Amino acid sequence: MTIKDFIPSKYTHQIQQGKVTYKAPSNIALVKYWGKKADQIPANPSISFTLDACATTTTISYSKMNAKSNDFSFELLFDGEPKDDFRPKIEIFFSRIEPYLPFLKEFYLKIETSNSFPHSSGIASSASGMAALALGLMHIEKEINPAITDEHFNRKASFLARLGSGSACRSVEGDLIQWGSHNGTEGSSDLYAIKYPYAVHKVFQKYHDTILLVDKGQKQVSSTIGHKLMHNHPFAEQRFDQAHENLSKLKSILASGNLNDFIRIVESEALTLHAMMMTSIPYFILMKPNTLEIINRIWAFRASSGTHLCFTLDAGANVHVLYPENEKEVVYQFIKDELVAFCEKGQYICDRIGFGAKKV
Ligand code: PMV
């Protein structure tokens, strides 16, 4: 598919108003996306677990205006309060997606959004937020063009969400989602994410992700800047090749359920992501001392207990502890006994692999 396939040819129905609510989850990458080309095209393919508990719920109330306006007409409420500092991001998003949703300037949109996870927890809400918004907009498009298939609906929602925040395209469906062209993955695309199309061992069903909130403050360096620093990065090309190789290697690991090999790739990906930050120019560090303390304790506990917990990181100091369902009691006990002490105000979130966004 090309971007032209996302430009609607004509709308068949007229609507005046309506209301729709979508709840979209966050996701955690196993192979990381870090570095992008123009128009939110990823520099390398990535794969993620869709989460379940960490989610954004967005309601769009839409009403047709008498005439098409020159600007986007919308109001934005976050937890019931007007949120003007989010407006510029939404304006940019709308201008990027307008070619694909030409009805946008014909409607007044009231957008009400809230997150399930604590405000300023250091967990990015851009993935779940942009996915929920894109799905709501796709609902409007389907009202005026009911011929849209479910497959096209999800694919276009992912395509639109990507234009809001890259990793958001992996938050439409579940449970294992791949984004970015990869030779070994049939149907993969830079334009949208797909459900991982190959066999996945049952050990990965109900996988747990306990998110340890190490630092809830604002990050010193945003993802947008971090992605940009991959241009002219001394190790960029090797890193992009490595992501392709890791995805290829994961194919047999995901099929066989070999957790030791899974851990080696997932932890290496997390540390490589942060190594890219530390070796870009200018360089920066998002991990905190407690991030390293937690990693060391995970390694020590894994060696002594023979369990298969591992960690991954996103672009911040928080640690995602991943572990299989059949080890949940012993690992969760360890987390409470040894790791929670390193979280800011002892805060953490128990999440697990989920199955994608839902209309509420
Ligand atoms: O979607 P963005 O632009 O916020 O970038 C997310 C990048 C990582 O979370 C660090 C990795 C990933 O693949 O999700």
Residue pLDDT, tens place only, 218-244:
778 889 999 999 999 999 999 999 999
- State the residue range of the domain holding 150: 3-197
What is residue 117's predicted lDDT score, i.e. its pLDDT?
Answer: 84
Q: What is the pLDDT of residue 120?
A: 64
Question: Does 175 lie in the same domain as 261?
Answer: no
Domain count for the chain: 2
Residue 121 pLDDT: 67
Instruction: Give the pLDDT score at 23.
Output: 98
**Residue spans of the chain under pLDDT 70:** 119-122
Ligand 1 centroid distance, CA of 315 (Å): 7
Residue 359 lies in a domain: no
Work out the number of other CB atoms within 10 angstroms of the CB of residue 102: 14
Write down the pLDDT at residue 73. 97
- pTM to 2 decimal places: 0.96
Q: Are residues 246 and 102 in the same domain?
A: no
> Which amino acid appears at position 110 of this protein?
K
Ligand 1 atom with least separation from CA of 273? 10
In a domain, 358, yes or no: no
Q: Is residue 192 in a domain?
A: yes
- Taking only the tens place, the pLDDT of each residue in 70-128 is 999 999 999 999 988 889 999 999 999 999 999 999 999 999 999 998 766 667 789 99
Residues 140 and 254 in one domain: no
Q: 178 and 313: one domain?
A: no
Please list every protein residue whose CB sits less than 6 Å from any atom of ligand 1: 29, 32-34, 46, 124, 126, 165-167, 223, 227, 273, 314-315
Q: How far is the CA of 127 from the centre of ligand 1 (A)?
A: 8
